[in-house]
Amino acid sequence: MGPNVVWLTEALSQHLDLQSDMRVLDMGCGKAASSIFLAKEFGASIWATDLWIAAEENWQRVCDAGLDQQICPIHAEAHQLPFAQGFFDVLISIDAYHYFGTDDLYIGYFAQFVKPGGVIAIMVPGLAHEFTEGIPEHLKPYWEWDFCSFHSAAWWNHHWQKSDQVEVIQADFLPEGWKHWLQWQQILVEQGLRGNSEEYSSEAKMLQVDAGRNLGFVQLIARRENV
Ligand SMILES: C[S@@+](CC[C@H](N)C(=O)[O-])C[C@H]1O[C@@H](n2cnc3c(N)ncnc32)[C@H](O)[C@@H]1O
């Protein structure tokens, strides 16, 4: 669903010490491509949790991938998660956290589901730096209002750190991330894989015009405080 989700998951997972005996929450997993990748690559158990995609649909994909002993599909809203506190070793979210995690209090709620000292890692579309003087002229023709949830690595770092519930250990704007995003958009348009191809080609044009000056991906990795 999101741009180049397996590539993003692989990039993020390189910073995590994922082991086969770990329980991982994949929050906003969409069609569970990231969950399938993580289960196959690391042998971990994954709770593939999403709102827009039904658990039954993801269960079928999980079974087709032969991972029915490793991945549990869950249909849940991000603010009403049906898990025990401290249940997970790692919380991951790819191209989804900006939909539900930009309010100040969410990280405190989310972090309770990982054990104290456990890791929380997200990858989101984001900015090289905050737009302090408004949206740059070259982006205005393509800008959608909900891109207002895109933020810089420094913004995300502060957003989590100020809660005092987690310690941020890494906050980066991915070098060349925009190229992977653009490649994804181009493939969707070329293959006619989306109904509204105008929206997708507009996003591709925006990425081309911007050429990584502002748009890309932010990765953020933190540890839950040991309290
Ligand atoms: C752009 S899709 C990305 C899906 C997947 N991670 C990927 O990269 O292919 C964003 C996902 O966030 C999930 N999402 C958005 N708001 C949510 C919420 N309030 N609670 C749970 N999931 C939510 C949607 O269900 C959707 O699948």
Per-residue pLDDT of the chain (227 residues; tens, 9 = 90+): 888 999 999 999 999 999 999 999 999 999 999 999 999 999 999 999 999 999 999 999 999 999 999 999 999 999 999 999 999 999 999 999 999 999 999 999 999 999 999 999 999 999 999 999 999 999 999 999 999 999 999 999 999 999 999 999 999 999 899 999 999 988 887 887 765 566 667 888 999 999 999 999 999 999 998 76
CATH superfamily of 5-135+143-174+215-224: Vaccinia Virus protein VP39 (3.40.50.150)
For residue 86, give Cα distances in angstroms to 24, 43, 103, 147, 207: 11, 20, 22, 32, 39
pLDDT on residue 82: 98
Give the span between the Cα atoms of 98 and 149, in whole angstroms. 6
103 lines ligand 1 (CB under 6 A): no
For the chain, the structural domain boundaries read: 5-135+143-174+215-224
Taking the CA of residue 93 as reference, the ligand 1 atom at the shortest distance is 6
- Label residue 214 exposed, middle or buried (CB < 10 Å: 0-12, 13-18, 19+): buried
147 lines ligand 1 (CB under 6 A): no
Buried b (16+ CB within 10 A) or exposed e, 81-109: bebeeeebbbbbbbbbbbebbbeeebbeb
Q: β-strand 114-127 against 215-224: which pairing, if any?
A: antiparallel
List the residue whose alpha carbon is closest to atom 10 of ligand 1: 96
Radius of gyration of the chain (CA): 17
Q: β-strand 45-50 against 23-27: which pairing, if any?
A: parallel
Quote the ligand 1 centre to 43 CA distance (angstroms). Answer: 23
The DSSP element (H or E) to which 216 belongs, if any, is strand 215-224
Taking the CA of residue 33 as reference, the ligand 1 atom at the shortest distance is 9
Quote the ligand 1 centre to 75 CA distance (angstroms). Answer: 11
Q: Where are the beta strands (DSSP E) in 95-173?
A: 114-127, 166-173
Give the span between the Cα atoms of 25 and 48, in whole angstroms. 7
Q: β-strand 88-94 against 23-27: which pairing, if any?
A: parallel
95 lines ligand 1 (CB under 6 A): yes
143 lines ligand 1 (CB under 6 A): no
122 lines ligand 1 (CB under 6 A): no
CA dihedral 40, 42, 45, 49 (to 10 degrees): -70
Q: Counting runs of H as helices and runs of E as strands, what totals does the chain give?
A: 8, 7
pLDDT on residue 199: 60
Taking the CA of residue 9 as reference, the ligand 1 atom at the shortest distance is 8
